[in-house]
Structure 1
Amino acid sequence: MDVIKNYLDKCRHIIEVVEKQSEEIRTAASWFAETILAGRMVHVFGSGHSRIMVEEMWPRYGSFPGFNPIVELSLTFHNLVVGANGQRQAMFLENVPGLAERILRNFDLSPQDTALVISSSGCNVVPIEIAENFQKKGIKVVALITNAHSAGSTSKRKDGKKLSDFADLILDTGAPAGDAMVYVPNLDTPVAPGSTVGGAILVNSIKAEVARLLTEAGQPPTVLSGAVIVGPERAVELFESAYDQHAHRLAGLYKSVGAGLPVESC
Protein backbone atom coordinates (compact mmCIF):
# COMPACT_ATOMS: atom_id res chain seq x y z
CA MET A 1 0.00 0.00 0.00
CA ASP A 2 1.38 3.41 -1.04
CA VAL A 3 0.27 5.60 1.86
CA ILE A 4 1.87 8.70 0.32
CA LYS A 5 -0.19 8.36 -2.84
CA ASN A 6 -3.25 7.61 -0.70
CA TYR A 7 -2.85 10.86 1.20
CA LEU A 8 -2.20 12.89 -1.94
CA ASP A 9 -5.25 11.38 -3.62
CA LYS A 10 -7.38 12.44 -0.67
CA CYS A 11 -5.90 15.92 -0.87
CA ARG A 12 -6.95 16.08 -4.52
CA HIS A 13 -10.46 15.22 -3.40
CA ILE A 14 -10.30 18.09 -0.91
CA ILE A 15 -9.41 20.45 -3.74
CA GLU A 16 -12.50 19.24 -5.62
CA VAL A 17 -14.68 19.87 -2.56
CA VAL A 18 -13.30 23.40 -2.22
CA GLU A 19 -13.75 24.10 -5.93
CA LYS A 20 -17.44 23.26 -5.66
CA GLN A 21 -17.77 26.06 -3.10
CA SER A 22 -16.55 28.79 -5.45
CA GLU A 23 -19.76 30.81 -5.14
CA GLU A 24 -19.63 30.65 -1.35
CA ILE A 25 -15.99 31.73 -1.44
CA ARG A 26 -16.90 34.70 -3.63
CA THR A 27 -19.67 35.66 -1.24
CA ALA A 28 -17.35 35.54 1.76
CA ALA A 29 -14.74 37.56 -0.11
CA SER A 30 -17.29 40.20 -1.10
CA TRP A 31 -18.34 40.64 2.54
CA PHE A 32 -14.74 40.89 3.66
CA ALA A 33 -13.84 43.37 0.92
CA GLU A 34 -16.76 45.60 1.92
CA THR A 35 -15.48 45.63 5.48
CA ILE A 36 -11.93 46.53 4.44
CA LEU A 37 -13.12 49.22 2.02
CA ALA A 38 -15.09 50.74 4.89
CA GLY A 39 -11.88 51.06 6.89
CA ARG A 40 -12.89 48.33 9.32
CA MET A 41 -11.44 44.84 9.93
CA VAL A 42 -12.34 41.23 9.31
CA HIS A 43 -12.02 39.37 12.61
CA VAL A 44 -10.44 35.93 12.23
CA PHE A 45 -10.68 33.52 15.16
CA GLY A 46 -9.64 29.95 15.72
CA SER A 47 -8.69 27.97 18.81
CA GLY A 48 -6.57 24.83 18.98
CA HIS A 49 -4.98 23.96 15.67
CA SER A 50 -7.45 26.24 13.88
CA ARG A 51 -4.99 28.95 14.87
CA ILE A 52 -3.02 27.83 11.81
CA MET A 53 -5.73 29.20 9.52
CA VAL A 54 -5.86 32.49 11.41
CA GLU A 55 -2.18 33.11 10.83
CA GLU A 56 -2.45 31.85 7.26
CA MET A 57 -4.79 34.76 6.58
CA TRP A 58 -2.52 37.44 8.07
CA PRO A 59 0.32 38.28 8.53
CA ARG A 60 2.47 36.29 6.14
CA TYR A 61 3.89 36.56 2.63
CA GLY A 62 1.15 37.11 0.10
CA SER A 63 -1.25 38.63 2.64
CA PHE A 64 -2.35 42.19 3.36
CA PRO A 65 -3.90 44.40 6.07
CA GLY A 66 -7.60 44.35 6.84
CA PHE A 67 -7.74 41.21 8.96
CA ASN A 68 -7.68 41.09 12.77
CA PRO A 69 -6.11 37.77 13.83
CA ILE A 70 -7.52 36.86 17.24
CA VAL A 71 -5.27 34.17 18.70
CA GLU A 72 -5.54 33.40 22.41
CA LEU A 73 -2.33 31.71 23.51
CA SER A 74 -4.12 29.94 26.37
CA LEU A 75 -6.18 28.11 23.75
CA THR A 76 -3.49 27.50 21.16
CA PHE A 77 -0.08 27.11 22.81
CA HIS A 78 0.62 23.48 21.95
CA ASN A 79 4.35 23.00 21.79
CA LEU A 80 4.84 22.31 25.52
CA VAL A 81 2.21 19.53 25.34
CA VAL A 82 2.32 18.71 29.08
CA GLY A 83 3.19 20.60 32.24
CA ALA A 84 2.56 24.32 32.66
CA ASN A 85 0.66 25.73 29.67
CA GLY A 86 0.06 22.20 28.43
CA GLN A 87 -2.43 20.81 25.98
CA ARG A 88 -4.83 19.53 28.63
CA GLN A 89 -5.36 23.04 29.96
CA ALA A 90 -5.87 24.46 26.46
CA MET A 91 -8.49 21.81 25.64
CA PHE A 92 -10.24 22.54 28.93
CA LEU A 93 -10.29 26.30 28.40
CA GLU A 94 -11.62 25.81 24.88
CA ASN A 95 -14.90 24.72 26.46
CA VAL A 96 -15.29 27.32 29.21
CA PRO A 97 -18.56 29.25 28.76
CA GLY A 98 -18.18 33.01 28.92
CA LEU A 99 -14.55 33.13 27.80
CA ALA A 100 -15.53 34.22 24.29
CA GLU A 101 -17.36 37.26 25.64
CA ARG A 102 -14.30 38.26 27.66
CA ILE A 103 -12.12 37.95 24.56
CA LEU A 104 -14.37 40.15 22.44
CA ARG A 105 -14.80 42.67 25.28
CA ASN A 106 -11.40 43.98 24.16
CA PHE A 107 -12.72 45.30 20.85
CA ASP A 108 -15.09 48.05 19.75
CA LEU A 109 -17.11 45.98 17.30
CA SER A 110 -19.25 47.38 14.48
CA PRO A 111 -21.86 45.93 12.10
CA GLN A 112 -19.47 47.01 9.34
CA ASP A 113 -17.07 44.33 10.56
CA THR A 114 -17.21 40.74 9.36
CA ALA A 115 -15.78 37.57 10.85
CA LEU A 116 -14.24 34.25 9.89
CA VAL A 117 -14.49 31.68 12.68
CA ILE A 118 -12.60 28.42 12.21
CA SER A 119 -13.28 25.13 13.99
CA SER A 120 -13.04 21.75 12.30
CA SER A 121 -15.66 20.12 14.54
CA GLY A 122 -17.61 23.29 15.19
CA CYS A 123 -18.43 21.78 18.57
CA ASN A 124 -16.16 23.52 21.08
CA VAL A 125 -17.76 26.16 23.25
CA VAL A 126 -15.44 29.12 22.74
CA PRO A 127 -15.57 29.26 18.91
CA ILE A 128 -19.35 28.78 19.04
CA GLU A 129 -19.78 31.62 21.51
CA ILE A 130 -17.38 33.82 19.54
CA ALA A 131 -19.65 33.46 16.50
CA GLU A 132 -22.77 33.96 18.62
CA ASN A 133 -21.39 37.18 20.09
CA PHE A 134 -20.41 38.48 16.66
CA GLN A 135 -23.92 37.90 15.37
CA LYS A 136 -25.40 39.70 18.38
CA LYS A 137 -23.39 42.74 17.24
CA GLY A 138 -24.83 42.48 13.72
CA ILE A 139 -21.60 41.10 12.29
CA LYS A 140 -21.78 38.59 9.44
CA VAL A 141 -20.05 35.34 10.34
CA VAL A 142 -18.37 32.93 7.93
CA ALA A 143 -17.77 29.55 9.58
CA LEU A 144 -14.98 27.34 8.30
CA ILE A 145 -15.69 23.80 9.47
CA THR A 146 -15.38 20.21 8.33
CA ASN A 147 -18.94 19.19 7.48
CA ALA A 148 -18.45 15.45 7.94
CA HIS A 149 -16.61 15.91 11.24
CA SER A 150 -19.12 18.40 12.60
CA ALA A 151 -22.10 16.25 11.61
CA GLY A 152 -20.63 13.24 13.41
CA SER A 153 -19.60 15.16 16.54
CA THR A 154 -21.51 16.21 19.64
CA SER A 155 -21.45 19.83 20.71
CA LYS A 156 -19.79 20.61 24.04
CA ARG A 157 -22.38 23.33 24.54
CA LYS A 158 -25.29 22.50 26.83
CA ASP A 159 -27.99 23.39 24.31
CA GLY A 160 -26.33 21.26 21.62
CA LYS A 161 -25.81 24.12 19.20
CA LYS A 162 -22.75 24.14 16.96
CA LEU A 163 -20.74 26.77 15.16
CA SER A 164 -22.86 26.24 12.07
CA ASP A 165 -25.90 27.44 14.03
CA PHE A 166 -24.32 30.90 14.33
CA ALA A 167 -23.01 31.28 10.78
CA ASP A 168 -24.31 33.36 7.90
CA LEU A 169 -22.19 31.28 5.53
CA ILE A 170 -20.54 27.88 5.97
CA LEU A 171 -17.39 26.66 4.22
CA ASP A 172 -16.31 23.00 4.31
CA THR A 173 -12.67 21.89 4.43
CA GLY A 174 -13.60 18.62 2.74
CA ALA A 175 -11.76 16.47 5.28
CA PRO A 176 -13.38 13.30 6.67
CA ALA A 177 -14.90 12.78 10.10
CA GLY A 178 -12.06 12.49 12.58
CA ASP A 179 -9.84 14.50 10.22
CA ALA A 180 -7.12 11.84 9.77
CA MET A 181 -7.25 10.47 6.23
CA VAL A 182 -4.86 7.51 5.85
CA TYR A 183 -5.17 3.98 7.23
CA VAL A 184 -1.85 2.18 7.54
CA PRO A 185 -1.83 -1.64 7.42
CA ASN A 186 -1.79 -3.17 10.93
CA LEU A 187 -2.48 0.23 12.55
CA ASP A 188 -6.03 0.54 13.85
CA THR A 189 -6.15 4.34 13.93
CA PRO A 190 -5.83 6.64 10.89
CA VAL A 191 -3.09 9.24 10.51
CA ALA A 192 -2.41 12.42 8.50
CA PRO A 193 -5.22 14.99 8.91
CA GLY A 194 -6.75 16.92 6.05
CA SER A 195 -8.61 19.89 7.51
CA THR A 196 -5.50 22.07 7.46
CA VAL A 197 -5.10 21.39 3.74
CA GLY A 198 -8.69 22.32 2.96
CA GLY A 199 -8.64 25.24 5.36
CA ALA A 200 -5.50 26.74 3.84
CA ILE A 201 -6.92 26.42 0.32
CA LEU A 202 -10.16 28.10 1.39
CA VAL A 203 -8.39 30.92 3.24
CA ASN A 204 -6.09 31.69 0.34
CA SER A 205 -8.89 31.46 -2.22
CA ILE A 206 -10.77 34.05 -0.19
CA LYS A 207 -7.63 36.16 0.11
CA ALA A 208 -7.05 36.17 -3.64
CA GLU A 209 -10.63 37.19 -4.36
CA VAL A 210 -10.56 39.94 -1.72
CA ALA A 211 -7.37 41.31 -3.30
CA ARG A 212 -9.07 41.35 -6.70
CA LEU A 213 -12.12 43.17 -5.34
CA LEU A 214 -10.04 45.75 -3.47
CA THR A 215 -7.93 46.42 -6.56
CA GLU A 216 -10.99 46.78 -8.78
CA ALA A 217 -12.43 49.24 -6.23
CA GLY A 218 -9.34 51.42 -6.58
CA GLN A 219 -7.82 50.44 -3.24
CA PRO A 220 -5.21 47.80 -4.10
CA PRO A 221 -3.89 46.08 -0.98
CA THR A 222 -0.38 46.48 0.34
CA VAL A 223 0.88 42.92 0.10
CA LEU A 224 3.71 41.47 2.18
CA SER A 225 6.13 40.43 -0.58
CA GLY A 226 9.51 38.73 -0.62
CA ALA A 227 12.69 40.47 -1.67
CA VAL A 228 13.17 37.72 -4.24
CA ILE A 229 10.11 39.13 -6.06
CA VAL A 230 10.23 42.88 -5.51
CA GLY A 231 13.79 43.51 -4.37
CA PRO A 232 15.02 44.15 -0.83
CA GLU A 233 14.16 47.86 -0.61
CA ARG A 234 10.63 47.45 -1.94
CA ALA A 235 10.07 44.44 0.33
CA VAL A 236 10.98 46.46 3.43
CA GLU A 237 8.80 49.34 2.23
CA LEU A 238 5.81 47.04 1.78
CA PHE A 239 6.28 45.36 5.16
CA GLU A 240 6.59 48.66 7.04
CA SER A 241 3.61 50.17 5.22
CA ALA A 242 1.43 47.10 5.72
CA TYR A 243 2.22 46.91 9.44
CA ASP A 244 1.47 50.62 9.85
CA GLN A 245 -1.85 50.18 8.05
CA HIS A 246 -2.69 47.28 10.34
CA ALA A 247 -1.91 49.43 13.39
CA HIS A 248 -4.11 52.26 12.17
CA ARG A 249 -7.04 49.93 11.50
CA LEU A 250 -6.56 48.21 14.83
CA ALA A 251 -6.59 51.56 16.61
CA GLY A 252 -10.17 51.96 15.44
CA LEU A 253 -11.10 48.79 17.32
CA TYR A 254 -9.77 50.22 20.59
CA LYS A 255 -10.63 53.90 20.65
CA SER A 256 -14.18 53.51 22.03
CA VAL A 257 -13.78 50.28 24.00
CA GLY A 258 -15.94 50.40 27.10
CA ALA A 259 -17.46 53.80 26.28
CA GLY A 260 -20.70 54.24 28.18
CA LEU A 261 -20.26 51.02 30.13
CA PRO A 262 -19.87 50.81 33.91
CA VAL A 263 -16.36 50.24 35.21
CA GLU A 264 -15.87 46.53 35.89
CA SER A 265 -14.42 45.28 39.12
CA CYS A 266 -11.43 42.96 39.06
Structure 2
Amino acid sequence: MPSPSAADFVAAAHAAIDKVSSTQAEGVARAAELIADALAADGIVQAFGTGHSEAFAMEIAGRAGGLVPSNRIALRDVVLFGGRPVEILAGSELERGTESAALLWELTAPHPADVFVLASNSGVNGCVVELARLAKENGHPLIVVTSAEHTAGVQPKHPSGLRLRDYADVVLDNGAPFGDAVLPMAGGGRACGISSITAALLGQQIVAEVIRRVEESGGVPPVYLSANIPGGDEHNNKLEALYAGRIRRTA
Protein backbone atom coordinates (compact mmCIF):
# COMPACT_ATOMS: atom_id res chain seq x y z
CA MET A 1 0.00 0.00 0.00
CA PRO A 2 1.47 3.40 -0.96
CA SER A 3 2.01 6.09 1.66
CA PRO A 4 -0.45 8.99 1.89
CA SER A 5 0.11 11.99 -0.36
CA ALA A 6 -1.17 15.54 -0.58
CA ALA A 7 -3.10 14.60 -3.73
CA ASP A 8 -4.75 11.72 -1.85
CA PHE A 9 -5.99 14.09 0.80
CA VAL A 10 -7.34 16.53 -1.78
CA ALA A 11 -9.29 13.69 -3.35
CA ALA A 12 -10.61 12.57 0.04
CA ALA A 13 -11.58 16.14 0.91
CA HIS A 14 -13.46 16.57 -2.37
CA ALA A 15 -15.31 13.30 -1.73
CA ALA A 16 -16.23 14.34 1.82
CA ILE A 17 -17.40 17.77 0.71
CA ASP A 18 -19.55 16.24 -2.04
CA LYS A 19 -21.04 13.76 0.43
CA VAL A 20 -21.91 16.39 3.01
CA SER A 21 -23.25 18.83 0.42
CA SER A 22 -25.52 16.20 -1.11
CA THR A 23 -26.88 14.76 2.14
CA GLN A 24 -27.09 17.65 4.62
CA ALA A 25 -28.89 20.38 2.66
CA GLU A 26 -32.21 19.83 4.41
CA GLY A 27 -30.57 19.98 7.83
CA VAL A 28 -28.64 23.11 6.90
CA ALA A 29 -31.91 24.78 5.89
CA ARG A 30 -33.58 23.81 9.17
CA ALA A 31 -30.58 25.05 11.16
CA ALA A 32 -30.61 28.38 9.32
CA GLU A 33 -34.32 28.77 10.01
CA LEU A 34 -33.79 28.25 13.74
CA ILE A 35 -30.99 30.83 13.78
CA ALA A 36 -32.90 33.38 11.70
CA ASP A 37 -35.87 33.02 14.03
CA ALA A 38 -33.62 33.50 17.05
CA LEU A 39 -32.05 36.65 15.60
CA ALA A 40 -35.50 38.05 14.82
CA ALA A 41 -36.43 37.53 18.48
CA ASP A 42 -33.28 39.41 19.67
CA GLY A 43 -31.44 36.16 20.33
CA ILE A 44 -27.85 35.36 19.48
CA VAL A 45 -25.99 32.21 18.44
CA GLN A 46 -24.16 30.42 21.24
CA ALA A 47 -21.46 28.25 19.63
CA PHE A 48 -19.35 25.65 21.41
CA GLY A 49 -16.92 22.91 20.54
CA THR A 50 -13.99 21.32 22.33
CA GLY A 51 -10.75 19.99 20.90
CA HIS A 52 -10.65 20.44 17.13
CA SER A 53 -14.39 21.05 17.14
CA GLU A 54 -13.62 24.51 18.54
CA ALA A 55 -12.66 25.32 14.94
CA PHE A 56 -16.32 24.94 14.04
CA ALA A 57 -17.36 27.36 16.78
CA MET A 58 -14.83 29.82 15.37
CA GLU A 59 -16.51 29.53 11.96
CA ILE A 60 -19.84 30.43 13.52
CA ALA A 61 -18.86 33.12 16.01
CA GLY A 62 -16.68 36.20 15.66
CA ARG A 63 -15.13 35.94 12.20
CA ALA A 64 -15.09 38.15 9.10
CA GLY A 65 -18.13 37.46 6.95
CA GLY A 66 -19.97 35.88 9.87
CA LEU A 67 -22.81 36.92 12.12
CA VAL A 68 -22.11 39.55 14.77
CA PRO A 69 -24.81 38.30 17.18
CA SER A 70 -22.77 35.23 18.05
CA ASN A 71 -20.79 34.13 21.07
CA ARG A 72 -18.05 31.49 21.20
CA ILE A 73 -18.09 29.50 24.41
CA ALA A 74 -14.74 27.83 25.18
CA LEU A 75 -13.52 25.45 27.88
CA ARG A 76 -10.86 27.99 28.90
CA ASP A 77 -13.67 30.35 29.92
CA VAL A 78 -13.72 28.56 33.27
CA VAL A 79 -10.22 29.96 33.85
CA LEU A 80 -10.50 33.32 32.06
CA PHE A 81 -13.86 34.28 33.56
CA GLY A 82 -14.71 31.62 36.13
CA GLY A 83 -11.77 31.84 38.50
CA ARG A 84 -10.65 28.22 38.12
CA PRO A 85 -6.89 27.54 38.28
CA VAL A 86 -5.10 27.31 34.96
CA GLU A 87 -3.92 23.80 35.84
CA ILE A 88 -7.46 22.57 35.26
CA LEU A 89 -6.89 22.96 31.51
CA ALA A 90 -4.27 20.19 31.52
CA GLY A 91 -5.45 16.76 30.47
CA SER A 92 -8.84 15.67 29.18
CA GLU A 93 -11.05 15.62 32.27
CA LEU A 94 -12.48 19.10 31.68
CA GLU A 95 -13.76 17.95 28.28
CA ARG A 96 -14.77 14.43 29.25
CA GLY A 97 -16.41 15.22 32.57
CA THR A 98 -19.68 17.08 33.15
CA GLU A 99 -18.75 19.47 35.96
CA SER A 100 -17.46 22.30 33.76
CA ALA A 101 -20.71 22.59 31.81
CA ALA A 102 -22.63 24.15 34.70
CA LEU A 103 -19.99 26.86 35.11
CA LEU A 104 -19.89 27.51 31.37
CA TRP A 105 -23.66 27.87 31.42
CA GLU A 106 -23.51 30.33 34.31
CA LEU A 107 -20.77 32.38 32.61
CA THR A 108 -22.64 32.44 29.31
CA ALA A 109 -25.95 33.53 30.89
CA PRO A 110 -27.94 32.95 27.71
CA HIS A 111 -30.90 35.10 26.74
CA PRO A 112 -34.16 33.10 26.46
CA ALA A 113 -34.20 33.63 22.67
CA ASP A 114 -30.64 32.37 22.07
CA VAL A 115 -29.99 29.35 19.87
CA PHE A 116 -27.19 26.87 20.59
CA VAL A 117 -24.89 25.34 17.98
CA LEU A 118 -22.69 22.60 19.45
CA ALA A 119 -20.05 20.57 17.63
CA SER A 120 -18.35 17.33 18.64
CA ASN A 121 -17.00 14.75 16.22
CA SER A 122 -17.51 11.93 18.72
CA GLY A 123 -20.60 13.48 20.31
CA VAL A 124 -20.10 11.60 23.57
CA ASN A 125 -17.88 13.68 25.88
CA GLY A 126 -19.51 14.72 29.12
CA CYS A 127 -19.06 18.49 28.91
CA VAL A 128 -20.66 19.06 25.51
CA VAL A 129 -23.48 16.60 26.20
CA GLU A 130 -24.21 18.24 29.54
CA LEU A 131 -24.24 21.68 27.91
CA ALA A 132 -26.71 20.32 25.37
CA ARG A 133 -28.87 19.00 28.20
CA LEU A 134 -28.85 22.40 29.91
CA ALA A 135 -29.75 24.15 26.67
CA LYS A 136 -32.76 21.93 26.06
CA GLU A 137 -33.80 21.96 29.73
CA ASN A 138 -33.97 25.75 29.47
CA GLY A 139 -35.97 25.77 26.24
CA HIS A 140 -33.29 26.71 23.69
CA PRO A 141 -33.21 25.40 20.12
CA LEU A 142 -30.17 23.16 19.59
CA ILE A 143 -28.22 22.46 16.41
CA VAL A 144 -25.59 19.72 16.57
CA VAL A 145 -22.70 18.91 14.24
CA THR A 146 -21.22 15.45 14.74
CA SER A 147 -19.97 12.37 12.91
CA ALA A 148 -22.84 9.91 12.59
CA GLU A 149 -20.43 7.05 12.03
CA HIS A 150 -18.12 7.86 14.91
CA THR A 151 -20.76 8.65 17.52
CA ALA A 152 -22.55 5.39 16.78
CA GLY A 153 -19.34 3.45 17.36
CA VAL A 154 -18.34 4.72 20.83
CA GLN A 155 -19.88 4.65 24.29
CA PRO A 156 -21.26 7.87 25.81
CA LYS A 157 -19.30 9.39 28.69
CA HIS A 158 -22.29 11.31 30.04
CA PRO A 159 -23.92 9.62 33.05
CA SER A 160 -27.29 9.69 31.28
CA GLY A 161 -25.97 7.33 28.62
CA LEU A 162 -27.08 9.84 25.96
CA ARG A 163 -25.12 11.29 23.07
CA LEU A 164 -25.04 14.88 21.86
CA ARG A 165 -27.34 14.04 18.95
CA ASP A 166 -30.02 12.80 21.36
CA TYR A 167 -30.74 16.35 22.55
CA ALA A 168 -30.68 18.07 19.15
CA ASP A 169 -33.47 19.72 17.20
CA VAL A 170 -31.25 19.48 14.12
CA VAL A 171 -28.39 17.00 13.65
CA LEU A 172 -25.83 17.65 10.91
CA ASP A 173 -23.50 14.80 9.96
CA ASN A 174 -20.00 16.04 9.14
CA GLY A 175 -19.36 12.88 7.14
CA ALA A 176 -16.17 11.97 8.98
CA PRO A 177 -15.38 8.25 9.33
CA PHE A 178 -14.82 6.49 12.63
CA GLY A 179 -11.59 7.96 14.03
CA ASP A 180 -11.83 11.01 11.71
CA ALA A 181 -8.68 10.20 9.69
CA VAL A 182 -9.20 9.33 6.02
CA LEU A 183 -5.88 8.17 4.50
CA PRO A 184 -4.58 4.63 5.11
CA MET A 185 -0.88 4.38 5.92
CA ALA A 186 1.48 1.73 4.55
CA GLY A 187 2.32 0.51 8.05
CA GLY A 188 -1.29 0.40 9.21
CA GLY A 189 -3.68 2.93 10.68
CA ARG A 190 -4.97 6.12 9.12
CA ALA A 191 -3.90 9.77 8.98
CA CYS A 192 -5.28 13.20 8.10
CA GLY A 193 -8.52 14.18 9.84
CA ILE A 194 -11.39 15.50 7.72
CA SER A 195 -13.98 16.74 10.23
CA SER A 196 -12.62 20.29 10.48
CA ILE A 197 -13.03 20.78 6.74
CA THR A 198 -16.57 19.44 6.51
CA ALA A 199 -17.64 21.20 9.71
CA ALA A 200 -16.38 24.52 8.32
CA LEU A 201 -18.35 23.82 5.15
CA LEU A 202 -21.52 23.24 7.16
CA GLY A 203 -20.89 26.35 9.25
CA GLN A 204 -20.51 28.63 6.26
CA GLN A 205 -23.50 27.08 4.51
CA ILE A 206 -25.60 27.82 7.57
CA VAL A 207 -24.38 31.43 7.68
CA ALA A 208 -25.16 31.90 3.98
CA GLU A 209 -28.68 30.55 4.45
CA VAL A 210 -29.30 32.75 7.50
CA ILE A 211 -28.20 35.84 5.57
CA ARG A 212 -30.50 34.90 2.68
CA ARG A 213 -33.45 34.59 5.01
CA VAL A 214 -32.75 37.92 6.72
CA GLU A 215 -32.41 39.72 3.39
CA GLU A 216 -35.53 38.11 1.94
CA SER A 217 -37.49 39.31 4.97
CA GLY A 218 -36.32 42.87 4.28
CA GLY A 219 -33.67 43.02 7.00
CA VAL A 220 -29.99 43.93 6.94
CA PRO A 221 -27.83 41.02 8.10
CA PRO A 222 -25.49 41.98 10.98
CA VAL A 223 -22.27 40.69 9.42
CA TYR A 224 -18.66 41.28 10.43
CA LEU A 225 -16.22 43.02 8.14
CA SER A 226 -12.58 42.06 8.33
CA ALA A 227 -10.90 44.11 11.02
CA ASN A 228 -7.97 44.44 8.64
CA ILE A 229 -9.73 46.57 6.04
CA PRO A 230 -10.43 50.33 6.28
CA GLY A 231 -13.53 50.98 8.35
CA GLY A 232 -13.71 47.39 9.60
CA ASP A 233 -13.25 48.19 13.27
CA GLU A 234 -15.77 51.03 13.19
CA HIS A 235 -18.37 48.86 11.44
CA ASN A 236 -17.86 45.94 13.80
CA ASN A 237 -17.77 48.00 16.99
CA LYS A 238 -21.07 49.66 16.10
CA LEU A 239 -22.80 46.32 15.59
CA GLU A 240 -21.18 44.66 18.61
CA ALA A 241 -22.48 47.48 20.82
CA LEU A 242 -26.01 46.24 20.09
CA TYR A 243 -25.15 43.01 21.92
CA ALA A 244 -23.00 44.44 24.71
CA GLY A 245 -22.57 42.04 27.59
CA ARG A 246 -23.84 39.08 25.54
CA ILE A 247 -20.89 38.35 23.24
CA ARG A 248 -17.26 37.90 24.24
CA ARG A 249 -14.30 38.51 21.95
CA THR A 250 -11.05 37.14 23.34
CA ALA A 251 -7.69 36.52 21.70
> CA 1:114–1:226 in 2, change beyond 3 Å: closer, same or farther?
closer
Note if 1:25 corresponds to 2:32.
no
Identify the range of structure 1 (94-103 vs 239-248) with the bigger mean alpha-carbon deviation: 239-248
Q: What is the correspondence of 1:107-126 to structure 2 with a 5 Å cutoff?
A: 107-126=108-127
Q: In the aligned structure 2, how far is the partner of 1:252 from the partner of 1:92?
A: 28
1:180 aligned partner: 181
**Structure 1 residue ranges, 4+ long, deviating more than 4 angstroms after superposition:** 84-87
Q: In the aligned structure 2, how far is the partner of 1:133 from the partner of 1:227?
A: 34
Note if 1:210 corresponds to 2:204.
no
2:47 aligned partner: 44
Gaps of 5+ in 2: 80-85
Q: In the aligned structure 1, how far is the partner of 2:97 from the partner of 2:237?
A: 33
| 8 A Cα contact 1:75 1:93, kept in partner | no
| 8 A Cα contact 2:78 2:103, kept in partner | no
Q: SS of 2:96's equivalent?
A: coil
Larger Cα-atom Rg: 1
Given residue 110 of structure 2, which amino acid in structure 1 is its aligned partner?
L
Q: What is the correspondence of 1:230-241 to structure 2 with a 5 Å cutoff?
A: 232-233=229-230, 236=231, 238-241=232-235
| 8 A Cα contact 2:181 2:192, kept in partner | yes
| 8 A Cα contact 1:96 1:125, kept in partner | yes
The TM-score, its normalising length taken from structure 2, stands at: 0.86
Identify the range of structure 1 (132-141 vs 107-116) with the bigger mean alpha-carbon deviation: 107-116
> CA 1:195–1:227 in 2, change beyond 3 Å: closer, same or farther?
closer
2:237 aligned partner: 243
Among all aligned residue pairs of Structure 1 and Structure 2, give the percentage whose two residues are the same amino acid.
26
1:12 aligned partner: 14
Summarize deviations over 1:109-130 as a string: whole Å, max 9, x none.
Answer: 3442211000000010000000
Q: SS of 1:43's equivalent?
A: strand
| 8 A Cα contact 2:69 2:247, kept in partner | no
The TM-score, its normalising length taken from structure 1, stands at: 0.81
Q: SS of 1:139's equivalent?
A: coil
Note if 1:225 corresponds to 2:225.
yes
Gaps of 5+ in 1: 77-83, 255-266
Q: SS of 2:142's equivalent?
A: strand
Given residue 126 of structure 1, which amino acid in structure 2 is its aligned partner?
C
